[in-house]
Amino acid sequence: MPKVYVDVSIFTEAKAFGMISGCIDVPAIPQVGDLMIFRPRSPPSVFAAIGQLRVNSRLIKADDDDPVILMLDDITVATDDDARAVMCFLEEGYGLSGDIWQVDD
């Protein structure tokens, strides 16, 4: 299976929350405009409605063995807790790494 590097920004209704990124195996390398489907492996929850993200751009490095980089749709949810749930889903289900930009005290 080909491997791609995905990059997704996560927002709440009030602010930029963070990003999640990393490499995943895919059956075929998606093209710009394609949808990538992220299926929950447990009962549906807050992220069920955003389970598919459109590929906005692709970056292919010349003379490099690194995977194709895919920039996906931004994810926007209502609250910080919802954003954390989405991030956790993608970390645990797909092995991606989350980076929270700012935490409210």
Give residue-wise pLDDT tens across range 4-63: 999 999 999 999 999 999 999 999 999 999 999 887 765 555 555 567 899 999 999 887
Neighbours of 102 (CB within 10 A): 9
Pairwise CA distance, residues 4 & 24, whole Å: 6
Closest to 23 in 3D by CA, of 52, 49, 43, 3 = 3
The pLDDT of residue 99 is above 90: yes
Quick one: CA torsion of 84, 90, 96, 101, rounded to 10 degrees?
-20
Tell me whether residue 94 is exposed, middle or buried, using C-beta atoms within 10 angstroms of its C-beta: 0 to 12, 13 to 18, 19 or more: middle
Inter-residue contact 4 to 70 (CB < 8 Å): yes
